[in-house]
Amino acid sequence: MTPYALTVDAGVRDLRTADRLLHALAAELALPEGTFGCTHLVREGRPRVALSLAVPSQPLLSTVRERLAVHDHEVTPGIPDAKGRAVLYPGVTELTGTLSVADVLDRSAITRVTVLGGPGEPDPATPLMTQDHVRPHWQDGELILTAMPAVGGTLVPFEVPEPTPCCADH
């Protein structure tokens, strides 16, 4: 991950809202393709989801910081932790429909695909139904997508686009 990063704390409490805010900021700030936008769960104080933006250069980082000043968000240098959930990353727009695991790795910044409960990495030819929602996580400096087995020998990303809220009936 690039050292040109900052954290945006907008007081967001859920991942879907954080995803929408990252996409809105990327569009408003006209962030280039090499940008990484991640979510980070913050548990100290009031639980919330912070955002991080990592851009390819220091001048661009300064511009982003200046343009974020018009928002009522807390902006600090660096990232909150090394385990962010990537929403914006190189190649994310290419991950639509059903692709082979090899295609996912070739077209994006994702470096590895793992299968939940599986003994190792899947065969590169295994189809992955992206559901147009691919959210890998940073682990030990690698962007890793966790997938689950699905019907017909396919895989799906572990995170689904429209999750059922835990405790929805409370």
pLDDT, tens digit, 9 for 90 and up, residues 39-56: 999 988 889 999 999 999
The string of pLDDT tens digits covering residues 80-126 is: 998 999 999 999 999 999 999 999 999 999 999 999 988 889 999 99
Say what percent of the chain tops pLDDT 70: 94
Over the chain, what is the mean pLDDT? 91
Q: Are the CB atoms for 137 and 85 separated by under 8 Å? A: yes
pLDDT over threshold 50, residue 169: no
DSSP string, 38-83: EEEEE-SSS-EEEEEEE-S-HHHHHHHHHHHTTSS-EEEES-S-S-
Rounded CA separation 22/38 (Å): 8
Amino acid making up residue 138? W
- The pTM (predicted TM-score) of the whole model is 0.90
Q: 138: closest CA among 87, 65, 76, 78?
A: 87
Q: Is the pLDDT of residue 170 over 50?
A: no
